[in-house]
Structure 1
Amino acid sequence: MPEDAAPLPWRPVPDGIEVRVRATPRGGRNAIDGIETRADGLGVLRVRVRAAPEAGAANAALREVLRRALGRPAAAVTLTAGARARDKLFRIAGDAAVLARRLAACTGA
């Protein structure tokens, strides 16, 4: 990874990967916007969704964006932390190497 590149927001875990996500609800579209580095030095995957952060709608939309980008069934994508925060942690079940390659492809990492 080049010196000026953001740290990757995903890491392998048993049976899949964990992805740190920075959510932008009411973002006008459902899309992955890339990777950014937080003030604490951690990388996050920027994801915007049309849904408002009400009654879990934005979390469901984030889950769907990740599911589609990674080609996984809905049951494979789980929100594990940050249900009421902008910064969230998702766990995606599957082959970690394949999932990491797909995330890298859709973010240019």
Structure 2
Amino acid sequence: MAKPKLRDLPDLSAMAQAGAVFKLKVTPKAARDRVSVEDGQIKVSVTAPPENGKANRAVQLLLAECLGVAPSTLTLKQGQAARIKLFSYDP
């Protein structure tokens, strides 16, 4: 069964500039996948568990969808095992 299409994702395409760095607060094993922006902080909740990079990959895919870019253009620079993560955008 395919994953349901996500709704209500914020449009972050204006932030997709070459060399941009995104600081995210991540919550793994959430009830549902969602992205929100509160006080300039991007918060991401994913249903994936934080094991073997599954949550990091899920965050990468969600962020890419919000930015309107390919997931391969986003690189996790810091926070592989932390809740605060830094992703960089290199087209």
User: TM-score by structure 2 length?
Assistant: 0.74
- 5+ residue gaps, structure 2, are 1-14
Structure 1 match to 2:52: 55
Paired AA for residue 86 in structure 2: L
Write 1 or 2 for the structure with the bigger share of strand.
1
Larger Rg: 1
Counterpart Cα distance in 2 of 1:34 and 1:48? 12
**Could you tell me how far apart the structure 1 residues matched to 2:34 and 2:90 are?**
21
Q: How many residues align?
A: 76
1:64 aligns with 2:61: yes
Greater shift, 61-70 or 27-36, is seen at: 27-36
Q: Which residue of 1 aligns with 2:84?
A: 87
Q: In structure 2, how many angstroms separate the alpha carbons of the residues matched to 1:56 and 1:78?
A: 13
Please state whether the residue corresponding to 2:32 is helix, strand or coil.
Answer: coil
1:27 positional shift: 1.1
The amino acid that maps onto 1:93 is D
- Which structure 2 residues correspond to residues 90-109 of structure 1 after superposition, within 5 A? 90-94=87-91
Name the Cα RMSD after superposition. 1.8
User: Which residue does the alignment assign to 2:34?
Assistant: 31
Once residues 44 and 53 of structure 1 are traced to their aligned partners in structure 2, the CA distance between those partners, rounded to angstroms, is: 21
Distance 1:34 1:86 in 2: 16
- Normalising by structure 1, we get a TM-score of 0.63
Higher fraction of helix: 1
